[in-house]
Structure 1
Amino acid sequence: MCRWLAYSGSPIILEELLYKPEHSLIDQSLHARMGVETTNGDGFGIGWYPADHGEPDRVAEPAVVRGTGPAWSDRNLRELAHCVRSPMFVAHIRASTGTAVQQTNCHPFRYGQWLWMHNGAIHDFPRLKRDLVLAVDPSLYPSIEGSTDSELMFHLALTFGLRDDVPGAVERMAGFVEATAARHGVTEPLQMTVAVSEGTQLWAFRYSSARASRSLFFSTSVQALRALHPDNPVLQRASEETRIIVSEPLGDLPGAWNPVPESSYAVVREGHDSIRAFRPQIGAR
């Protein structure tokens, strides 16, 4: 499986979260505590939206950098994280579930202004792959570059209306995967924590067919954390809108992290955050 992080808030230098915390994402690439594997060295990727979007009323297309080596030893990642500043970014460290270690299989995946990353797997994916691929809208199919179930899930969600209705599209994608698996006699096929963004909002999903999903946490409100830890300088600098969603906590700061409930999704947007139930759907797009 994998580990990932998604950030939304006041613009920060990426290394503030990727390298500096006690149990940063880079530390997790070697010493994950809550994943299936303790080492996640089969590639990495970061995707970020520019701190200055340029044109008002238009979100710039995100930048994506991916590599096939382990994140802990990549000097280019270290250099880039030291200078890139962003109000919204995602980062992923990969542990392959069977597909090749290659750049096109590293997360996040991008389509236009959309970013998508995933931890988990479709069980018995080679057996289901043909039926799943054939459901992708023909106009989207040329955009599939790699061979992972994660990228295919993204393009199924795009097919099922992601650009207009993110939660509904992901629910329809999950329902379609489960229905396809049922036809092939594959039980409990889907395991996923997913992050998706278009630059202004962030969605994070936690679901598995077995109702035993991989770990996922969201940060406590900055205002509450300041009250708990008045002497912490990082918290004093963070904006009230700052939110972080992670596969596992970045440290042991008491009261800082809350588990995303089973079979639910979180929505992070300016002025309003919420957690709602996630229910796979089978039906019209």
Structure 2
Amino acid sequence: MQLILISGLSGSGKSVALKALEDGGFYCVDNLPATMLCEAASLYTDYGYDRIGISVDVRSSPSLGALPEEMARLRAKGVDVRLLFLESKDETLVKRFSETRRRHPLSNPGLTVQECIRIEREMLGLIQELGTRIDTSDLSANALRTAIRELVDADGSRLTLVLQSFGFKNGVPLDADFVFDVRCLPNPFYEAALRPLTGLDQPVIDFFKGEALVGEMVADIGQLIARWLPHFSRENRSYLTIAIGCTGGQHRSVYISEQLAAAFRGQQVLIRHRQLSHD
């Protein structure tokens, strides 16, 4: 059985993620207490379901403390259980609640939305360390659905290297394990013909290939990743996220992420370009 747990902050896209699993053939359950996970897995197995998606969050907060033990019990039974933890920046969450006019699950007359978010972060602090974090601050619903499908389809027995480009002007990704700043490199933005293009376009690729510093940066980052990747694999991690940042997340970070992906083609690799994924 493959069991995908969806957790995270209210307003971060958990409903979208669960729907993406459902569209991918998973039998999905929203807001199940953590203490019922093993019982539910056995029940669904009896009914012939082998791909299950379950949302576990603060709506069933009294049972959250049992989640680590329940996940361990499921793995001991041979269940491929993974946790995807969704989060977003505070300002993004506040904006989403304002736009949808939904109440925060922890709302009461004495708390603002910002205070509810702070309390929820504290309640979920230990949970986020149990799985893979996904920062949805700059992801459209379509981009989030794609990210969920890619993560779920990856071979859970092998470590997946996630390479993520981003723009510092939009903030550092919350889900990054390593962050590399490449703003010191030559910037195609200052070339009028290259400015509207991205690091995926051939003219920009040719520009970077002519810059020795860019090649050195790719090689240095690649060597560091190669040196430490085996150690992360031995820790039984499912994913390792490497964030590459430039000013706008359009040229340098995109190109370098693609080059690193090519260098690690023997590894299980996923690529995300945060500032190019709004459609």
Could you say whether these structures have the same fold, taking a TM-score greater than 0.5 normalized by the shorter chain as the test? no
**Which structure shows the higher helix fraction?**
2
TM-score, with structure 2 as normaliser:
0.31
**Which structure shows the higher strand fraction?**
1
TM-score, with structure 1 as normaliser:
0.30
The structure that has the greater radius of gyration is: 2
